[in-house]
Structures are given as structure tokens and as C-alpha cells.
A = this chain, B = another copy of it.
Amino acid sequence: MARKLNRGVAIVGAGMSKFGAFPDKNSRELLVEAFIEMMGSIDKGIDPKDIEAFYFGDAAGEAFEGQGHTAPIMGDWLGLLPIPCVRVENACASGSVAIRQAMLSIASGMHDIVLAGGAEKMSNLSTTRVTDTLADFTDVYSERSAGFTFPTAYASMATAYMAEYGARPEHFMMVGIKNHRNGALNPKAQFNSSILDIMNSKISKAKGKGGAIPTWKDEMDFLHDEGANPIVAWPMRLFDCSPISDGAACVLVVAEELVRRFTDSPLYIIGSGLASCGPLHDRDRLTSISAARVASQQAYEMAGVKPQDIQVAEVHDCFTIAELVAMEDIGFYEPGTAYKAVEEGATALDGPKPINPSGGLKSKGHPISASGAGQVVEIWHQLREEAGLRQVPIKNLRLGLTHNIGAHGSTCSINIFERR
């Protein structure tokens, strides 16, 4: 049954920090950067004292920075006290789940103007400790005890996907190549360069040093080189994995009656879905995330649109396999066919179904709690046709979608936006 909210809700401002590794900045300071950009993005301005509540997505502030109870602390740094500051934790979906709670709090009549976003500061920890922290999001008594890391869970889906549909590791690599190409056009991206650029820069460096010069023929050849692109959890290699990142993103969500006070080019949240599933072994299929199918179904029904109506999407490509699974789960492609679409270039920036124009988590970076909000920031720019070099070349842009996954699919949060 399609749900209708008691009040319409729209986004009237969006901002993000640069994503990357910033040793001298903590998550509070990154969130202030995102907040300042968000404030500047509100066409007709706002007095921040009018913000009535703050939903803050934070997956693991305790582990990364030794700081729990982060919502009021962030509220303090943003000058928002004493308003309600609520922390939401749904692993890597925390940012978009925060935006959903903002939407619900407005539709309820409790608030009219609500800030939502996320921030994460991951680069302080060693890779092993980051691996442990992310592994905490899998089920400690079945998956973690089996030695699962985060990449392992997706890598397992990848082997099942290859066996079931005949995809090869090269198809995963193509996703990475595409997303790096997009990220090369995004100044906020952690990897602001294509894989070809990275390869060539390594060749230049080797020449500069006067040592052995690598003989990679092309990007694919580079990605097949265990030295350049080592296995993390086979078949996922380094360039199949999103990086360890610091960053923050936030949006301002308001009630429909107030929208025009802030902008004439808002993004209405016309559909929203949220669903859960159990550990990998308890799922109906190993090549699809049921939470994503359920959540997208909810969102499409609420919005009254179909997958083919969506013009641009940001999907959760924490690993390259994840983007393929996402494209199928949200109904853009039939099960087992997404890898062919990528091979054909259908999801490139200038393809018929552009996916992750921002560069995705793979290239833009994946400060886990910020990522879901960062996806919405990208859709904000794309639908308002303010995305610069990476603007998708589609006429009459109106509908965008974000697909944000928590952990390895235990949560999926889908939002559909319409520019009006």
C-alpha cells in the first residue's frame, strides 16, 4: 500500500566538505564546512536560528574519534543548541536515514525546518582497525565469527553473481573505471582523477626515479596487475573498494508551505523507502539485497513513478559489485544484466541511464555516514543543473534517486527527488 505523508517536504539547501584524508581536521570541523556551503546554497538565505531540529547520521564516531553521543556535540559546533539533536546509526546508510527522519519529523507537524546530514573521520585509524570497525556492522555471531570483513561480504556476493550470471572480474573493474572518470570531473572527490590518470602518474613517477618502468597497456591491464591493484577480498581488489575517507555533508529540509521562502528551485522528496534484511546466509538470494528491493518498491509506490522514469541516480558503490547489484535491485536492469549495461556504457555520464555522476563512493570517497547525504547533495546539483563538468546531458531533468546501503545490505534507504 502506498503511503502518503501528512505534509509535503522538500530540500532547499545542500552542502558538503571536500572528501579525502585530512589529518588536521576532525568530523566537527568538516561538518562546519559542509554547513557553511549548505547555508550558501539556499537561494534566498536563512537565519540559522530558524532551524528547529537536527538529525545527524553517524556510524562509528566512538571507534574513529573516541566520541559518542555526537548529535548534540555537532549541534554545538554548528551553533544550533538547544534544539533537538538526534543521532541516527544505520552504518553506511546513516546519512540518508537521518534525512528520512528529518522528513518524517516535518510531516508529523512537530517541526518545519530541519537540518540533516552526516560526517565521518576515518583516516586516523590503521587499515586493520578500520577493517575491524566496519566488520562490527556485520552480524558478530555469524558473519564476523566466520572472518567476514566488509569487503568479504560483498566479495561473496560477487562470486555468487559470477557463478549465476557469467560475469567476470573485468565487469567489476569497468564499474571502477566509469566512476573514476566521473570523479575526475568532481572537485570534491577524493580521487579527482581517472584510473588512466593514476596509471600514467605511476609510470611518470617510475620514469622519474629511473627504475623499472611498468608496461601496462591500458587501464584494464593496470587493474589486472596484482602489484598495482592487489586483492583485498577476492574478487574485490583495491580498485574495487571505496577508500578510507574523511568528510561531511548536510541538507536543509523544510515543510512545503515554507519552500518558496528559501528557493524557487527546491527538490521535493516524493518517495522514500527504508527496509532491512538479515545476515548474508539468511537472505533469499545471494546476488541481490532484498532490503533494496523492498525499499525501492516502497519509494516508487509513494512517488508514483517507475524505474524507467528516473533520470539520474546515485547508488551505493562501496564496492564495484555493489553498484551492479544496486542497479538490478532498484529495477533499472533485470537480474543478471547490469554488468552488460556497464560493458555497453549505458550508465556512463553521457549514457541513457547515468549512474553515480559524482564519481560514486568509489572515487568521490566514502566517509561512511556522510555518503548518504553526499548522494543527495549530488542529486541536488544534478537536478538543479549546477553540476558543472559532470552535469548529465539529459534534457528536462526532473527526477533523481539515491540508493544508500547500511553495512552489506542489512539496511537500504531509497529516496526519490523531484525538482519543481
Nearest B-chain residue to A108, judged by Cβ: B107
Chain B residues with Cβ below 8 Å from A163 are: none
Q: Are A277 and B88 touching (Cβ within 8 A)? A: no
Residue with the greatest number of chain B CB neighbours at <10 A, chosen from A60, A80, A277: A277
Chain B residues with Cβ below 8 Å from A278 are: 72-73, 76, 81
Nearest B-chain residue to A138, judged by Cβ: B69
Q: Which of B89, B272, B406 contacts A58 (CB 8 A)?
A: B89
| CB of A265 within 8 Å of the partner chain | no
> Given the complex of chains A and B, what is the CA–CA distance between A144 and B267 in angstroms?
41
Q: Are B110 and A90 touching (Cβ within 8 A)? A: no
| CB of A65 within 8 Å of the partner chain | yes
User: What are the interface flags for A36-62 relative to B under an 8 Å C-beta threshold, 1 for contact and 0 otherwise?
Assistant: 000000000000000001000011101
Q: Which of B5, B68, B111, B410 contacts A136 (CB 8 A)?
A: B68
| Nearest CB of B to A327, in Å | 20
Q: Which of B62, B76, B104 contacts A63 (CB 8 A)?
A: B62
| CB of A355 within 8 Å of the partner chain | no
> Given the complex of chains A and B, what is the CA–CA distance between A130 and B63 in angstroms?
15
| CB of A137 within 8 Å of the partner chain | yes
Chain B residues with Cβ below 8 Å from A110 are: 3, 5, 104, 107, 272
> What is the total number of residues of chain A having a CB less than 8 Å from a CB of chain B?
66
| CB of A275 within 8 Å of the partner chain | yes
Q: Which of B108, B133, B272, B411 contacts A85 (CB 8 A)?
A: B411
Chain B residues with Cβ below 8 Å from A151 are: none
**In the complex, chain A residues 62-78 whose Cβ is within 8 Å of any chain B Cβ:** 62-63, 65-73, 75-76
Chain B residues with Cβ below 8 Å from A294 are: 82
> Given the complex of chains A and B, what is the CA–CA distance between A106 and B66 in angstroms?
34
| CB of A250 within 8 Å of the partner chain | no
| Nearest CB of B to A281, in Å | 12
Residue with the greatest number of chain B CB neighbours at <10 A, chosen from A59, A73, A276, A282: A276
Q: Are A276 and B108 touching (Cβ within 8 A)? A: no
> Given the complex of chains A and B, what is the CA–CA distance between A139 and B75 in angstroms?
12
| CB of A12 within 8 Å of the partner chain | no
Q: Are A72 and B108 touching (Cβ within 8 A)? A: no
> Given the complex of chains A and B, what is the CA–CA distance between A291 and B86 in angstroms?
13
Q: Which of B60, B136, B279 contacts A66 (CB 8 A)?
A: B136
> Given the complex of chains A and B, what is the CA–CA distance between A73 and B75 in angstroms?
29
Chain B residues with Cβ below 8 Å from A91 are: 68-69
- List 10 contacting pairs A-B, 8 Å CB cutoff, sorted by A: A3-B111, A6-B6, A53-B274, A62-B136, A66-B136, A68-B136, A70-B89, A71-B90, A76-B276, A82-B294
